[in-house]
Chains A and B, each alone.
Chain A
Amino acid sequence: SAVISQKPSRDICQRGTSLTIQCQVDSQVTMMFWYRQQPGQSLTLIATANQGSEATYESGFVIDKFPISRPNLTFSTLTVSNMSPEDSSIYLCSAEGPGARFRTEAFFGQGTRLTVV
C-alpha cells in the first residue's frame, strides 16, 4: 500500500475554478510539504504545512492562491484557487518526520497532474 496517498491523481479544470488536493500519510509525521513541478521543470517548494497553524509559504507563493490545511499529523490539503493555464503542473505532497520509516528521508506522494483549460 502507498505510504503517501494523493487524491486526485489527475484532473482537468476550467480556468477560474479551484481544486483541492488531498494528501494522506499512513503514519504520523512531523513535517508535510507541498511542491509544484511545472512541465519539463524541476520541483519548487510551495509551502510547509504546519499542523494546527498557518502554513509557511515560500517566496512567490501566497495563501490566497494556495490555501493549505493540516488538521492533524497525517493529513493535509492544498487548494489551487482561481486557476489559470499557468497553474497546469504536477503538485506533490512530501512528508518527513518521526518514526523509522520517515526519520531520515523525505518521501513523496504520487503527485496530482493538473491541467487547466
Chain B
Amino acid sequence: ELKVEQNPLFLSMQEGKNYTIYCNYSTTSDRLYWYRQDPGKSLESLFVLLSNGAVKQEGRLMASLDTKARLSTLHITAAVHDLSATYFCAVETSGSRLTFGEGTQLTVNP
C-alpha cells in the first residue's frame, strides 16, 4: 500500500523567512503533485512534477522531485502572509489515482 508522508504537519513562520516542506512516498510513481487549499475552499494545483530531478518555480514557491529517494520538496522563499494555507502533496499511481499526504498547515505571521 502506498504511503505518502508530509512533514511538518504544522508550520508557523515569520514573514521573510525561508522554509521547506517535505513529502516522502513509499513506492514508484509517475507523477507528483503539489496543491494548495485555503480554508473552506477546494484544491488549487501548484505544480506537477513528472520526472527525476524536475524543478519548478512559481513566485516564492519552488518544488523539486527526487524519484530515487522518493522525495519531493516544496521550498518557500521569503514567506508572505498570503501564502498561509494548507499544502498537500499527492502521488499518482496506476489508473491516474492520487494518494495524498496528510497536508501541511502553513501560517505566515507578520
B88 touches A104 (CB 8 A): no
Inter-chain contacts of A111 with B (CB < 8 A): 41-42
A42 touches B43 (CB 8 A): no
In the complex, which range does the number of interface residues on chain A fall in?
20 to 34
CA separation between A70 and B45, bound complex, in Å? 24
B65 to chain A, nearest CB (A): 14
A25 to chain B, nearest CB (A): 14
- Tell yes or no: B61 within 8 A of A by CB: no
Inter-chain contacts of B101 with A (CB < 8 A): 42
- Tell yes or no: A45 within 8 A of B by CB: yes
Of all chain B residues, which has the CB nearest A96?
Answer: B96
A105 touches B42 (CB 8 A): no
A106 touches B98 (CB 8 A): yes
A109 touches B99 (CB 8 A): no
Chain B interface main SS type:
strand
B92 touches A106 (CB 8 A): yes
- Tell yes or no: B95 within 8 A of A by CB: yes
A42 touches B98 (CB 8 A): no
Across the interface, A107 reaches (CB within 8 A) one of B40, B45, B95, B103, namely B45
Q: Residue-by-residue, is B39-73 near A (CB-CB < 8 Å gives 1, otherwise 0)?
A: 01111010010100000000000000000000000
- Tell yes or no: A117 within 8 A of B by CB: no
Known: A42-B88, A48-B95, A56-B95. A105 touches B100 (CB 8 A): no
Known: A42-B88, A96-B96. A106 touches B45 (CB 8 A): yes
A5 to chain B, nearest CB (A): 11
B96 touches A106 (CB 8 A): yes
B42 touches A108 (CB 8 A): yes
- Tell yes or no: B25 within 8 A of A by CB: no
Inter-chain contacts of A33 with B (CB < 8 A): 96-98
**Which residues on A are within 8 Å of B, measured CB to CB?**
31, 33, 35, 42-45, 48, 56, 58, 92, 94, 96, 104-111, 113
9 other contacts beyond A94-B98, A105-B45, with CB at 8 A cut-off?
Answer: A33-B96, A33-B98, A48-B97, A92-B42, A104-B31, A105-B33, A106-B33, A109-B42, A110-B42
